[in-house]
């Protein structure tokens, strides 16, 4: 039995499939104090699953997400290369 001839791919459908496979609309991180924090991968805006969460906890978590690179990762701008200062620090730790 022969396979039926494949029809030519629809460019719009291929684009949608590519977007679905390569892009995630929002990243999410769960914290017990505020619930789930969503990071929009286009703007870096944070949204919260518990809007009435403690504002102090939210501000600390926001700072943590920026400091630890979660927002940069969601935006696709995280630079994974190690700079010279970090290399020097790591080499100095070898002697301890």
Geometric angle at alpha carbon 75, from 25 and 70, rounded to 5°: 100
Per-residue pLDDT band for 27 (boundaries 50, 70, 90) equals confident
Residue pointed to by tokens 């080499």: 91
Predicted confidence at residue 19, as pLDDT, reads 45
Q: What is the mean pLDDT of the chain?
A: 76
User: How sure is the predictor about 18, in pLDDT bands with cuts at 50, 70 and 90?
Assistant: very low
Provide the pLDDT for residue 60: 93
pLDDT digits (tens, 9 = 90+) for 51-73: 888 999 999 999 999 888 888 88
Is this model's pTM higher than 0.85 or not?
A: no
Rounded Cα gap, residues 20 and 7, in angstroms: 22
């Amino acid at each position: 039995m022969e396979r039926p001839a494949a029809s030519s791919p629809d460019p719009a459908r291929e684009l949608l499939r590519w977007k679905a496979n390569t892009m995630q609309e929002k990243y999410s991180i769960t914290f017990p104090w505020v619930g789930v924090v969503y990071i929009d991968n286009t703007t870096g805006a944070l949204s919260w699953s518990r809007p009435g969460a403690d504002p102090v906890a939210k501000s600390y978590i926001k700072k943590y997400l920026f400091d630890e690179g979660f927002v940069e990762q969601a935006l696709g701008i995280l630079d994974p290369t190690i700079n010279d200062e970090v290399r020097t620090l790591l080499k100095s730790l070898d002697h301890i």
